[in-house]
Structure 1
Amino acid sequence: MNEFYTQLITVFLGFFAIMNPIANTAAFAGLVGDSDRKEQIQIAAKALILTFCIIFAFSLLGKAIFHLFGITLPALRISGGILVFLVGYHMLNGKSSTLHSADGNDVKDIAVSPLAVPLLAGPGTIATAMNYSASGGITGIGITVSVFAVLCVITFICFIFSAKILKFIGKGGLDIVTRLMGLILTVIGVQMLIGGVTEVIKTLPMS
Protein backbone atom coordinates (compact mmCIF):
# COMPACT_ATOMS: atom_id res chain seq x y z
CA MET A 1 0.00 0.00 0.00
CA ASN A 2 2.86 2.37 0.82
CA GLU A 3 4.32 1.64 -2.61
CA PHE A 4 0.99 2.56 -4.21
CA TYR A 5 0.82 5.94 -2.45
CA THR A 6 4.47 6.58 -3.24
CA GLN A 7 3.80 5.98 -6.93
CA LEU A 8 0.69 8.17 -6.75
CA ILE A 9 2.62 11.08 -5.27
CA THR A 10 5.53 10.58 -7.69
CA VAL A 11 3.25 10.66 -10.73
CA PHE A 12 1.39 13.74 -9.46
CA LEU A 13 4.57 15.68 -8.74
CA GLY A 14 6.03 14.65 -12.10
CA PHE A 15 2.98 15.84 -14.03
CA PHE A 16 2.67 19.00 -11.93
CA ALA A 17 6.28 19.98 -12.67
CA ILE A 18 5.96 19.27 -16.39
CA MET A 19 2.50 20.81 -16.91
CA ASN A 20 3.05 23.67 -14.42
CA PRO A 21 -0.55 24.91 -14.02
CA ILE A 22 0.57 28.09 -12.24
CA ALA A 23 2.73 29.32 -15.12
CA ASN A 24 0.18 28.18 -17.70
CA THR A 25 -2.51 30.22 -15.92
CA ALA A 26 -0.50 33.35 -16.70
CA ALA A 27 -0.12 32.17 -20.30
CA PHE A 28 -3.88 31.55 -20.47
CA ALA A 29 -4.55 35.04 -19.14
CA GLY A 30 -2.26 36.54 -21.75
CA LEU A 31 -3.86 34.57 -24.58
CA VAL A 32 -7.57 35.05 -23.80
CA GLY A 33 -7.56 38.14 -21.60
CA ASP A 34 -9.69 40.13 -24.06
CA SER A 35 -12.44 37.48 -24.15
CA ASP A 36 -15.48 37.56 -21.84
CA ARG A 37 -15.73 35.16 -18.89
CA LYS A 38 -18.12 32.74 -20.61
CA GLU A 39 -15.77 32.43 -23.58
CA GLN A 40 -12.76 31.96 -21.28
CA ILE A 41 -14.55 29.10 -19.51
CA GLN A 42 -15.42 27.50 -22.86
CA ILE A 43 -11.83 27.79 -24.07
CA ALA A 44 -10.43 26.44 -20.80
CA ALA A 45 -12.85 23.50 -20.79
CA LYS A 46 -12.17 22.64 -24.43
CA ALA A 47 -8.41 22.90 -23.97
CA LEU A 48 -8.32 20.68 -20.89
CA ILE A 49 -10.75 18.09 -22.24
CA LEU A 50 -8.63 17.83 -25.38
CA THR A 51 -5.47 17.70 -23.27
CA PHE A 52 -6.87 14.86 -21.17
CA CYS A 53 -7.95 12.93 -24.28
CA ILE A 54 -4.48 13.26 -25.81
CA ILE A 55 -2.69 12.10 -22.65
CA PHE A 56 -5.23 9.30 -22.17
CA ALA A 57 -4.59 8.10 -25.75
CA PHE A 58 -0.82 8.21 -25.37
CA SER A 59 -1.01 6.48 -21.99
CA LEU A 60 -2.83 3.58 -23.61
CA LEU A 61 -1.40 3.55 -27.13
CA GLY A 62 1.67 5.79 -27.03
CA LYS A 63 4.23 3.33 -28.36
CA ALA A 64 1.84 1.98 -30.99
CA ILE A 65 1.00 5.51 -32.21
CA PHE A 66 4.66 6.46 -32.52
CA HIS A 67 5.45 3.21 -34.36
CA LEU A 68 2.42 3.49 -36.67
CA PHE A 69 3.29 6.97 -37.93
CA GLY A 70 7.05 6.61 -37.65
CA ILE A 71 7.22 9.47 -35.15
CA THR A 72 10.15 9.88 -32.80
CA LEU A 73 10.10 11.77 -29.51
CA PRO A 74 12.99 14.06 -30.62
CA ALA A 75 10.95 15.06 -33.69
CA LEU A 76 7.99 15.84 -31.43
CA ARG A 77 10.19 17.95 -29.15
CA ILE A 78 11.69 19.89 -32.08
CA SER A 79 8.36 20.66 -33.75
CA GLY A 80 6.74 21.54 -30.41
CA GLY A 81 9.69 23.77 -29.55
CA ILE A 82 9.36 25.70 -32.81
CA LEU A 83 5.64 26.28 -32.22
CA VAL A 84 6.13 27.42 -28.62
CA PHE A 85 8.99 29.71 -29.68
CA LEU A 86 6.87 31.39 -32.38
CA VAL A 87 3.99 31.95 -29.97
CA GLY A 88 6.35 33.35 -27.33
CA TYR A 89 8.14 35.57 -29.84
CA HIS A 90 4.92 37.30 -30.89
CA MET A 91 3.79 37.68 -27.27
CA LEU A 92 7.19 39.11 -26.32
CA ASN A 93 6.80 41.79 -28.98
CA GLY A 94 3.27 42.59 -27.89
CA LYS A 95 1.82 41.43 -31.21
CA SER A 96 -0.93 39.00 -32.07
CA SER A 97 0.11 35.73 -33.65
CA THR A 98 -1.97 33.59 -35.99
CA LEU A 99 -0.75 30.70 -33.86
CA HIS A 100 -2.49 31.92 -30.73
CA SER A 101 -5.07 34.52 -31.70
CA ALA A 102 -8.09 34.72 -33.95
CA ASP A 103 -11.17 36.79 -34.63
CA GLY A 104 -14.81 35.95 -34.00
CA ASN A 105 -15.65 32.27 -33.60
CA ASP A 106 -12.12 31.24 -34.51
CA VAL A 107 -10.95 32.37 -31.06
CA LYS A 108 -11.82 28.89 -29.80
CA ASP A 109 -8.94 27.58 -31.90
CA ILE A 110 -6.72 28.92 -29.12
CA ALA A 111 -7.99 26.01 -27.03
CA VAL A 112 -6.46 23.59 -29.52
CA SER A 113 -3.24 25.45 -30.27
CA PRO A 114 -1.28 26.61 -28.40
CA LEU A 115 -3.16 25.80 -25.15
CA ALA A 116 -3.87 22.07 -25.52
CA VAL A 117 -0.94 21.45 -27.87
CA PRO A 118 1.85 22.05 -27.11
CA LEU A 119 1.54 24.04 -23.84
CA LEU A 120 -0.52 21.54 -21.83
CA ALA A 121 -0.11 18.29 -23.77
CA GLY A 122 3.42 19.00 -24.93
CA PRO A 123 6.26 16.57 -25.63
CA GLY A 124 7.32 16.57 -21.98
CA THR A 125 3.81 15.77 -20.74
CA ILE A 126 3.35 13.05 -23.37
CA ALA A 127 6.75 11.53 -22.59
CA THR A 128 5.95 11.58 -18.85
CA ALA A 129 2.60 9.88 -19.42
CA MET A 130 4.15 7.21 -21.65
CA ASN A 131 6.92 6.59 -19.12
CA TYR A 132 4.62 6.21 -16.10
CA SER A 133 1.99 4.13 -17.90
CA ALA A 134 4.50 1.83 -19.60
CA SER A 135 6.42 1.08 -16.41
CA GLY A 136 3.44 0.00 -14.30
CA GLY A 137 1.19 -2.15 -16.46
CA ILE A 138 -2.57 -1.78 -15.97
CA THR A 139 -2.06 -0.25 -12.53
CA GLY A 140 0.41 2.24 -13.95
CA ILE A 141 -2.04 3.27 -16.67
CA GLY A 142 -4.86 3.67 -14.13
CA ILE A 143 -2.74 5.81 -11.80
CA THR A 144 -1.38 7.90 -14.68
CA VAL A 145 -4.80 8.65 -16.16
CA SER A 146 -6.45 9.30 -12.77
CA VAL A 147 -3.73 11.63 -11.53
CA PHE A 148 -3.69 13.55 -14.79
CA ALA A 149 -7.47 13.97 -14.63
CA VAL A 150 -7.11 15.53 -11.16
CA LEU A 151 -4.39 17.84 -12.44
CA CYS A 152 -6.63 18.91 -15.34
CA VAL A 153 -9.37 19.86 -12.85
CA ILE A 154 -6.86 21.89 -10.80
CA THR A 155 -5.64 23.65 -13.95
CA PHE A 156 -9.21 24.39 -15.05
CA ILE A 157 -9.95 26.05 -11.70
CA CYS A 158 -6.80 28.16 -12.06
CA PHE A 159 -7.83 29.14 -15.59
CA ILE A 160 -11.39 30.24 -14.79
CA PHE A 161 -10.18 32.43 -11.92
CA SER A 162 -7.62 34.10 -14.20
CA ALA A 163 -10.32 36.69 -15.04
CA LYS A 164 -10.14 38.05 -11.49
CA ILE A 165 -6.39 38.38 -11.84
CA LEU A 166 -6.86 40.33 -15.06
CA LYS A 167 -9.42 42.62 -13.43
CA PHE A 168 -6.99 43.33 -10.62
CA ILE A 169 -3.91 44.06 -12.75
CA GLY A 170 -5.74 45.90 -15.58
CA LYS A 171 -4.80 46.33 -19.24
CA GLY A 172 -1.31 47.58 -18.50
CA GLY A 173 -0.68 44.64 -16.22
CA LEU A 174 -1.96 42.28 -18.90
CA ASP A 175 0.54 43.71 -21.39
CA ILE A 176 3.34 43.13 -18.89
CA VAL A 177 2.15 39.57 -18.19
CA THR A 178 1.89 38.89 -21.91
CA ARG A 179 5.43 40.07 -22.58
CA LEU A 180 6.86 38.23 -19.56
CA MET A 181 5.09 35.03 -20.59
CA GLY A 182 6.37 35.59 -24.11
CA LEU A 183 9.91 35.63 -22.77
CA ILE A 184 9.30 32.47 -20.75
CA LEU A 185 7.69 30.69 -23.71
CA THR A 186 10.53 31.56 -26.08
CA VAL A 187 12.99 30.10 -23.55
CA ILE A 188 10.83 26.98 -23.17
CA GLY A 189 10.67 26.64 -26.94
CA VAL A 190 14.43 26.91 -27.28
CA GLN A 191 14.92 24.39 -24.47
CA MET A 192 12.58 21.95 -26.20
CA LEU A 193 14.52 22.43 -29.44
CA ILE A 194 17.82 21.85 -27.68
CA GLY A 195 16.47 18.69 -26.06
CA GLY A 196 15.21 17.34 -29.36
CA VAL A 197 18.38 18.16 -31.29
CA THR A 198 20.54 16.70 -28.51
CA GLU A 199 18.66 13.41 -28.66
CA VAL A 200 19.04 13.32 -32.45
CA ILE A 201 22.80 13.91 -32.14
CA LYS A 202 23.08 11.05 -29.64
CA THR A 203 21.56 8.67 -32.18
CA LEU A 204 24.09 9.56 -34.89
CA PRO A 205 26.87 7.00 -35.46
CA MET A 206 30.21 8.01 -34.07
CA SER A 207 32.98 8.34 -36.68
Structure 2
Amino acid sequence: MDNLITFSIAVFTGFFAITNPISNMTVFLSLTQGADENVKKGINKRANIIAFVIVTVFVLLGKYIFELFNISIPAFKITGGILIFYIGFEMLQSKRSNMKHINNVNVDENIAVSPLAIPILAGPGTIVTAMNFVSNVSTLKMLLVIAIFGTMSLLTYFTFRLSSLIVKVFGNNVISVIGKIMGLIIAIIGTGMIIEGIKISFDLMS
Protein backbone atom coordinates (compact mmCIF):
# COMPACT_ATOMS: atom_id res chain seq x y z
CA MET A 1 0.00 0.00 0.00
CA ASP A 2 2.82 2.41 0.89
CA ASN A 3 4.42 1.67 -2.46
CA LEU A 4 1.18 2.57 -4.29
CA ILE A 5 0.85 5.81 -2.33
CA THR A 6 4.45 6.79 -3.10
CA PHE A 7 3.93 5.87 -6.75
CA SER A 8 0.70 7.88 -6.93
CA ILE A 9 2.35 10.97 -5.43
CA ALA A 10 5.23 10.69 -7.92
CA VAL A 11 2.82 10.32 -10.86
CA PHE A 12 0.63 13.23 -9.78
CA THR A 13 3.65 15.48 -9.20
CA GLY A 14 5.09 14.56 -12.58
CA PHE A 15 1.85 15.21 -14.44
CA PHE A 16 1.17 18.44 -12.56
CA ALA A 17 4.62 19.77 -13.38
CA ILE A 18 4.57 18.82 -17.06
CA THR A 19 0.97 19.86 -17.83
CA ASN A 20 1.33 22.94 -15.61
CA PRO A 21 -2.36 24.03 -15.54
CA ILE A 22 -1.62 27.25 -13.67
CA SER A 23 0.89 28.46 -16.22
CA ASN A 24 -1.07 27.15 -19.20
CA MET A 25 -4.23 28.95 -18.17
CA THR A 26 -2.64 32.19 -19.42
CA VAL A 27 -2.22 30.48 -22.80
CA PHE A 28 -5.86 29.41 -22.66
CA LEU A 29 -6.91 32.99 -21.93
CA SER A 30 -4.89 34.38 -24.82
CA LEU A 31 -6.21 31.76 -27.26
CA THR A 32 -9.83 32.32 -26.29
CA GLN A 33 -9.68 36.08 -25.95
CA GLY A 34 -12.88 37.60 -27.35
CA ALA A 35 -14.87 34.36 -27.21
CA ASP A 36 -18.08 34.17 -25.14
CA GLU A 37 -18.31 31.95 -22.07
CA ASN A 38 -20.15 29.10 -23.81
CA VAL A 39 -17.50 28.87 -26.52
CA LYS A 40 -14.71 28.98 -23.90
CA LYS A 41 -16.41 26.22 -21.92
CA GLY A 42 -16.78 24.04 -25.02
CA ILE A 43 -13.15 24.53 -26.07
CA ASN A 44 -11.94 23.81 -22.53
CA LYS A 45 -14.00 20.61 -22.20
CA ARG A 46 -13.08 19.29 -25.64
CA ALA A 47 -9.36 19.99 -25.22
CA ASN A 48 -9.13 18.14 -21.90
CA ILE A 49 -11.13 15.14 -23.14
CA ILE A 50 -8.94 14.80 -26.23
CA ALA A 51 -5.76 15.13 -24.14
CA PHE A 52 -7.01 12.42 -21.74
CA VAL A 53 -7.80 10.04 -24.62
CA ILE A 54 -4.37 10.59 -26.22
CA VAL A 55 -2.45 9.93 -23.00
CA THR A 56 -4.64 6.90 -22.17
CA VAL A 57 -3.91 5.36 -25.59
CA PHE A 58 -0.16 5.76 -25.07
CA VAL A 59 -0.37 4.34 -21.53
CA LEU A 60 -2.26 1.25 -22.72
CA LEU A 61 -0.41 0.70 -25.99
CA GLY A 62 3.02 2.03 -25.06
CA LYS A 63 4.43 -1.49 -24.65
CA TYR A 64 3.34 -2.45 -28.16
CA ILE A 65 4.69 0.80 -29.58
CA PHE A 66 8.05 -0.09 -28.03
CA GLU A 67 7.95 -3.54 -29.61
CA LEU A 68 6.78 -2.25 -33.00
CA PHE A 69 9.66 0.21 -33.32
CA ASN A 70 12.13 -1.94 -31.36
CA ILE A 71 12.59 0.74 -28.69
CA SER A 72 14.42 -0.35 -25.55
CA ILE A 73 13.29 0.92 -22.17
CA PRO A 74 16.74 2.33 -21.25
CA ALA A 75 16.94 4.23 -24.56
CA PHE A 76 13.43 5.57 -24.02
CA LYS A 77 14.16 6.70 -20.48
CA ILE A 78 17.42 8.43 -21.43
CA THR A 79 15.98 10.15 -24.52
CA GLY A 80 12.75 11.04 -22.73
CA GLY A 81 14.71 12.33 -19.75
CA ILE A 82 16.76 14.61 -21.98
CA LEU A 83 13.58 15.92 -23.61
CA ILE A 84 11.84 16.58 -20.29
CA PHE A 85 14.98 18.17 -18.80
CA TYR A 86 15.15 20.52 -21.82
CA ILE A 87 11.51 21.58 -21.35
CA GLY A 88 12.12 22.26 -17.64
CA PHE A 89 15.34 24.16 -18.37
CA GLU A 90 13.50 26.42 -20.84
CA MET A 91 10.86 27.15 -18.21
CA LEU A 92 13.57 28.07 -15.69
CA GLN A 93 15.02 30.44 -18.28
CA SER A 94 11.61 32.16 -18.56
CA LYS A 95 11.07 30.72 -22.05
CA ARG A 96 8.09 28.77 -23.25
CA SER A 97 9.13 25.52 -24.87
CA ASN A 98 9.04 25.59 -28.67
CA MET A 99 6.68 22.63 -28.43
CA LYS A 100 4.19 24.92 -26.75
CA HIS A 101 4.90 28.16 -28.57
CA ILE A 102 1.78 29.84 -29.94
CA ASN A 103 1.38 33.08 -31.81
CA ASN A 104 -1.56 34.86 -33.42
CA VAL A 105 -4.14 32.06 -33.20
CA ASN A 106 -7.69 33.18 -34.01
CA VAL A 107 -10.56 32.26 -31.70
CA ASP A 108 -11.79 29.06 -33.32
CA GLU A 109 -13.23 25.98 -31.65
CA ASN A 110 -10.68 23.88 -33.54
CA ILE A 111 -8.01 25.23 -31.19
CA ALA A 112 -9.38 22.70 -28.69
CA VAL A 113 -7.61 20.03 -30.76
CA SER A 114 -4.54 22.03 -31.72
CA PRO A 115 -2.79 23.70 -30.05
CA LEU A 116 -4.61 23.16 -26.73
CA ALA A 117 -4.96 19.35 -26.60
CA ILE A 118 -1.87 18.84 -28.78
CA PRO A 119 0.79 19.88 -27.88
CA ILE A 120 -0.06 21.94 -24.77
CA LEU A 121 -1.92 19.37 -22.64
CA ALA A 122 -0.79 16.14 -24.31
CA GLY A 123 2.50 17.11 -25.88
CA PRO A 124 5.69 15.04 -26.16
CA GLY A 125 6.67 15.81 -22.57
CA THR A 126 3.33 14.58 -21.18
CA ILE A 127 3.36 11.43 -23.31
CA VAL A 128 6.98 10.65 -22.38
CA THR A 129 6.18 11.17 -18.70
CA ALA A 130 3.13 8.87 -18.89
CA MET A 131 4.97 6.11 -20.74
CA ASN A 132 7.90 6.37 -18.33
CA PHE A 133 5.59 5.72 -15.37
CA VAL A 134 4.06 2.60 -16.98
CA SER A 135 7.23 0.95 -18.29
CA ASN A 136 7.64 -2.40 -16.50
CA VAL A 137 4.76 -1.89 -14.03
CA SER A 138 1.69 -3.91 -13.07
CA THR A 139 -1.74 -3.46 -14.64
CA LEU A 140 -2.93 -1.88 -11.39
CA LYS A 141 -0.30 0.84 -11.64
CA MET A 142 -1.16 1.42 -15.31
CA LEU A 143 -4.80 1.97 -14.36
CA LEU A 144 -3.63 4.21 -11.51
CA VAL A 145 -1.66 6.36 -13.96
CA ILE A 146 -4.74 6.72 -16.18
CA ALA A 147 -6.91 7.64 -13.18
CA ILE A 148 -4.38 10.22 -11.97
CA PHE A 149 -4.13 11.82 -15.41
CA GLY A 150 -7.94 11.87 -15.50
CA THR A 151 -7.87 13.74 -12.19
CA MET A 152 -5.23 16.06 -13.66
CA SER A 153 -7.47 16.72 -16.66
CA LEU A 154 -10.37 17.63 -14.35
CA LEU A 155 -8.09 19.94 -12.37
CA THR A 156 -6.93 21.57 -15.61
CA TYR A 157 -10.53 21.97 -16.76
CA PHE A 158 -11.57 23.79 -13.59
CA THR A 159 -8.36 25.86 -13.60
CA PHE A 160 -9.15 27.04 -17.13
CA ARG A 161 -12.76 27.75 -16.12
CA LEU A 162 -11.54 29.97 -13.30
CA SER A 163 -8.55 31.37 -15.22
CA SER A 164 -9.77 34.97 -15.45
CA LEU A 165 -10.47 35.10 -11.72
CA ILE A 166 -7.17 33.44 -10.76
CA VAL A 167 -5.10 35.91 -12.82
CA LYS A 168 -6.96 38.84 -11.26
CA VAL A 169 -6.42 37.53 -7.71
CA PHE A 170 -2.78 36.40 -7.91
CA GLY A 171 -1.37 38.44 -10.78
CA ASN A 172 1.05 37.42 -13.51
CA ASN A 173 4.16 37.63 -11.27
CA VAL A 174 2.97 34.88 -8.92
CA ILE A 175 2.01 32.70 -11.87
CA SER A 176 5.49 33.26 -13.36
CA VAL A 177 7.14 32.12 -10.10
CA ILE A 178 4.97 28.99 -10.02
CA GLY A 179 5.99 28.30 -13.61
CA LYS A 180 9.68 28.43 -12.63
CA ILE A 181 9.09 26.04 -9.72
CA MET A 182 7.33 23.64 -12.09
CA GLY A 183 10.28 24.00 -14.48
CA LEU A 184 12.68 22.94 -11.72
CA ILE A 185 10.54 19.91 -10.86
CA ILE A 186 10.36 18.92 -14.55
CA ALA A 187 14.17 19.21 -14.90
CA ILE A 188 14.64 17.00 -11.83
CA ILE A 189 12.21 14.39 -13.21
CA GLY A 190 14.13 14.41 -16.49
CA THR A 191 17.45 13.95 -14.70
CA GLY A 192 15.97 11.06 -12.72
CA MET A 193 14.83 9.37 -15.93
CA ILE A 194 18.31 9.70 -17.45
CA ILE A 195 19.96 8.23 -14.33
CA GLU A 196 17.44 5.36 -14.24
CA GLY A 197 18.02 4.63 -17.94
CA ILE A 198 21.80 4.50 -17.40
CA LYS A 199 21.38 2.19 -14.41
CA ILE A 200 19.20 -0.21 -16.42
CA SER A 201 21.66 -0.13 -19.36
CA PHE A 202 24.59 -1.13 -17.15
CA ASP A 203 22.55 -3.39 -14.83
CA LEU A 204 23.18 -1.12 -11.85
CA MET A 205 19.64 -1.28 -10.43
CA SER A 206 19.73 -2.23 -6.77
TM-score normalised by the chain length of structure 2: 0.70
Partner of 1:44: 48
Q: Give the structure 2 partner of residue 137 of structure 1.
A: none
1:16 to 1:40, Cα distance in 2 relative to 1, 3 A: farther
- Superposed, 1:132-147 pairs within 5 Å as 132-133=138-139, 144-145=142-143, 147=144
Moved more, 46-55 or 159-168: 159-168
What residue in structure 1 maps to residue 77 of structure 2?
A: 77
Residues 1:188 and 2:186 aligned together:
no
Answer yes or no: is the 8 Å Cα contact 2:59–2:146 preserved in 1.
Answer: no
> Residue type of the partner of 1:89?
F
Which amino acid letter does the alignment assign opposite residue 159 of structure 2?
S
The CA distance in 2 between the partners of 1:117 and 1:144, in whole Å, is 14
Q: What residue ranges of structure 2 are gaps of 5+ in the alignment? A: 33-39, 106-110
Taking the aligned partners of 1:55 and 1:188, their CA distance within structure 2 comes to 18
Q: 1:122 to 1:33 in 2, by over 3 A?
A: farther
Number of the residue aligned with 2:36: none
TM-aligned CA deviation for residue 126 of structure 1:
2.1
Report the equivalent of 1:161: 158
Counterpart CA distance in 1 for 2:96 and 2:142 is 36
User: Taking structure 1 as the reference length, what is the TM-score of the superposition?
Assistant: 0.70
Measured after TM superposition, the shift of residue 184 of structure 1 is 1.4
CA deviation map 1:111-162 (0-9, x unaligned): 331453224x141x222xx4212xxxxxx6xx844x4443333212211222
Matches within 5 A, 1:58-73: 58=62, 62=63, 64-73=64-73
The 2-side partners of 1:79 and 1:19 are apart by: 21
Percent same amino acid at aligned positions? Answer: 21
Q: What's the counterpart of residue 99 of structure 1?
A: 99
Distance in 2 between the 1:155 and 1:126 partners? 17
Aligned to 2:108: none
Residues paired across the two proteins, number: 179
